[in-house]
Amino acid sequence: MHNSTPLFLSLFHTLLSLHLTSAIPSSSLLQYVHNFTTTNSTYRSNLGELFSFLDKETAAKGFSENSTVGVAENQISGLALCRGDINASDCAACLDQSFRYITNGSSFPKEAAIWYHFCLLQYSNDSSLIASTDNFPRFLMWNITNQTFSGWDKSKEFTIFSINNTLHKLLTNVADQTAFHSAKWFGTGVTKNSATLEIGRDNVTVSVPVIYSLSQCTPNFPNDTCRDCLQDLIIDLLGSYDGRRGGRIVGIKCNLRYETYPFYYGNPDILIDSVPITDIGGNKGGINRLLAIIISVTVVLLILSCFTIILWIRKTRSTETDIFQEENAIPTS
């Protein structure tokens, strides 16, 4: 992992608020720039050549990596990735905007990464950084509204159980789709229907709305490596999401996102059932009824066992008395 400290990290007002539109958003989603810049004209020229190649190849294939231009201190390597559901023209427009943003000024960073909603661009004069499987840098971000799911209450364990399990089921299934069943290493999914769940005696109604999700890996990843990368993101996200209705983690090698509104193009790859709280599986009243049944059956069995033991003891004593009487009987002539 590279240990340089970012010079700046900007989250703009458009963060996660973008709904589907054919226009490329004007502000970058996120930027990571190392703390050194250059005005070297040769480096700048090489950077322009690199971007031209990345733009052309990525627009055609959706991904380009390990592209290198120049030699020695002016050598630059880069990668670019477009979201798997956008067309070639939107991909090219997003990358063009990234290039203009980075080179806007007399000086520019020698190493940078920039994310938009539709694309990612990274370049560096360290080719090993581009070729690495490390998902650094990566950042976790929440929907700007910061709203939680309806009925979310940390004191209600079954509320947490239901919503967490629904989101976990969706994210893991979409990750499986991305890693093992997609030629683009890109997958989308949605829960089939919303679920309104009444939590027994707690008198709480939990509304789990329809949830949309996508995940993506760079296509140079082996299937298992992609899945492991996404699993790390799922663990990080679920460990801190605290019931929020939308969020994402973006990294260089893989990323994922979920929302309660459609934010990707086309039909989802997979449909997932919500995980309701059933009378037995999660409803507190149902669990109480189940416990009452178990306790009742246990008590009955205990009583029957005691009765059986008493009968056995009485029978044993009776048999012992009969044997004693036979052994001490006076023989008759």
Q: What pLDDT score does 290 carry?
A: 43
Q: What pLDDT score does 12 carry?
A: 29
Distance from C-alpha of 150 to C-alpha of 209, rounded to nearest angstrom: 9
The mean pLDDT value for 123-137 works out to 85
Most confident option among 1-15, 199-213, 238-252? 238-252
Nearest by Cα to 124 from 81, 69, 61, 177 = 69
Residue 196 or 102, more confident: 102
pLDDT tens-digit series, residues 172-203: 999 999 999 999 999 999 998 776 655 555 55
Size of the chain in residues: 333
Q: What pLDDT score does 155 carry?
A: 74
Residue 267 has pLDDT above 80, yes or no: yes
pLDDT tens-digit series, residues 226-257: 999 999 999 999 999 999 999 999 999 999 99
pLDDT mean across residues, the chain: 77
State the CB neighbour count (10 A cutoff) for residue 191: 23
- Looking up tokens 């789709």 gives 177
Share of the chain above pLDDT 70, in %: 69
- For 237-263, the three-class secondary structure string (H helix, E strand, C coil) is HHHHCCCECCEEEEECCEEEEEECCCC
Residue 318 has pLDDT above 80, yes or no: no
Q: How is residue 116 written in tokens?
A: 């938009």
Q: For the chain, which residues make up each domain, given as ranges?
A: 30-132, 139-285
State the CB neighbour count (10 A cutoff) for residue 256: 25
Q: What pLDDT score does 314 carry?
A: 66
Are the folds of 30-132 and 139-285 the same?
yes
Residue 320 has pLDDT above 60, yes or no: no
Q: What pLDDT score does 77 carry?
A: 93
Tell me, which fold does domain 139-285 have in CATH?
Killer Toxin P4; Chain A (3.30.430)
Residue 326 has pLDDT above 50, yes or no: no
291, containing H or E segment: helix 284-327
Q: What pLDDT score does 321 carry?
A: 40
**Residues sharing a CB contact under 8 Å with residue 2, sequence separation 6 or more, in sequence order:** 126, 129, 134, 136, 137
**Residues sharing a CB contact under 8 Å with residue 231, sequence separation 6 or more, in sequence order:** 172, 175
Q: What pLDDT score does 42 carry?
A: 92
pLDDT category at 26 given cuts 50, 70, 90 is very low
SS3 (DSSP) at 304: helix
pLDDT tens-digit series, residues 61-101: 999 987 899 998 899 999 999 999 999 999 999 999 999 88
- Looking up tokens 């995980």 gives 275
pLDDT tens-digit series, residues 37-51: 778 889 989 999 999
Residue 45 or 137, more confident: 45
Question: Which CATH number applies to 30-132: 3.20.20.140, 2.60.40.420, 1.10.40.50, 3.30.430.20?
Answer: 3.30.430.20
Q: What pLDDT score does 333 carry?
A: 38
pTM strictly above 0.85: no
Distance from C-alpha of 113 to C-alpha of 32, rounded to nearest angstrom: 5
